[in-house]
Amino acid sequence: QPTYVVIGNPIAHSKSPQIHALFAAQFPGHPAVTDFFYDRLLAPLDGFAAAVHDFAVAGGRGANVTVPFKEDAYRFAAELTTRAQAAGAVNTLKRLSSGNWLGDNTDGAGLVADVLRHVEIKDRRILLLGAGGAARGVILPLLAQQPASLSLANRTLSKAEGLLNQFSTMSTIPLLAHEFSHLNSDYDLIINATSASLGGERLPITNSVFAPNALAYDMMYGKVETPFLAQAREAGVTLRVDGLGMLVGQAAEAFELWTSLRPDVEPVLQWMREQL
């Protein structure tokens, strides 16, 4: 019986079991990981709550939640962290001693930790591309790093405006919604949170959005360069990072929530890169 699972549909492709097994192996003999057994759990599309309930009855202690259940998990959790509330989605569940499930969202912290491995965020101008769930999940953790400003560009402007409105009272950092065609130039950190790369599509941005020494970050990753990172390369950007480090980073945050142990992401990220 697994004590930890990743729940999704589909789930067979999930890399989370390998990542968490490597984290646990960094603490041999530690009491917090002696019964750490992490597996995949396929839930029916209309059966998320029942699946978590059965898992709890069988001794489950924690779960990662992936597509398409992050909003289900948000509604399911009896308690929510501030960052899960801000994200409107839950990617990590922890069974509390009361028996209640705590819902957290570690995606934004995973992104921030990965970006900080390359550049500082404080006082930098951020351009976030996209206004869906992926973008929403990272806004509060990015603002916590005290950037100079956060601009949000989306194909549908009203969605960008609506999203930023939700954060306007939570921070004094300037929040700006833009259409792709009305972006300023010279952003320091440009993050692609759209799903355009999934369809192999490029974004309607010009080379001027990238400041000299900018970091281009794509939440997507793959064996081949993503369309967004190809755009950045052609614009002359040398600092280009894909989302594999965010994946490992969000897992590290979840592992720490469950075990209070802080794993080293670097060797796990290297191993994952080799497996792509």
CA distance 272 to 276: 7
- Binding status of residue 183 toward ligand ATR by CB under 6 A: no
Task: Give the residue with the Cβ less far from ligand ATR, 133 or 222.
Answer: 133
Q: Is 197 flagged in the annotation as binding?
A: no
Q: How far is the CB of 210 from ligand ATR (least distance, A)?
A: 17
Kindly compute the dihedral angle of the four CA atoms of residues 63, 64, 66, 68, in this order, to the nearest 10 degrees: 30
> At a CB cut-off of 8 Å and minimum separation 6, what does 34 contact?
none
Nearest to 208 by CA among 182, 243, 227: 182
Near ligand ATR by CB under 6 A: residue from 79, 201, 264, 266: 201
CA distance 251 to 261: 12
Q: Is 156 flagged in the annotation as binding?
A: yes
Q: Is 16 flagged in the annotation as binding?
A: yes
CA distance 215 to 211: 9
- Point out the residues that are catalytic: 70
Q: How far is the CB of 80 from ligand ATR (least distance, A)?
A: 18
CA distance 45 to 42: 9
Q: Is 66 flagged in the annotation as binding?
A: yes
Count residues binding ligand ATR (CB under 6 A). 15
- Binding status of residue 133 toward ligand ATR by CB under 6 A: yes
Q: Is 122 flagged in the annotation as binding?
A: no
**β-pairing, 4-8 with 38-42?**
parallel
Which strands make up the sheet holding 92-95, listed edge to edge?
38-42, 4-8, 62-65, 92-95, 101-104, 79-80
Nearest to 186 by CA among 227, 125, 235, 128: 125
Q: Is 162 flagged in the annotation as binding?
A: no
Residue whose beta carbon is closest to ligand ATR: 132
3-state class (DSSP) for residue 258: helix
**Per CB under 6 A, which of residues 150..169 are in contact with ligand ATR?**
154-156, 159
Near ligand ATR by CB under 6 A: residue from 84, 203, 215, 248: 203
**Per CB under 6 A, which of residues 112..131 are in contact with ligand ATR?**
130-131
Q: How far is the CB of 157 from ligand ATR (least distance, A)?
A: 9
Q: How far is the CB of 155 from ligand ATR (least distance, A)?
A: 3
- Binding status of residue 195 toward ligand ATR by CB under 6 A: yes
Residues forming contacts to ligand ATR in the complex (CB under 6 A) are 130-135, 154-156, 159, 194-196, 201, 203
Q: Where is the binding site for NADP(+), in residues?
A: 130-134, 154-159, 219, 243
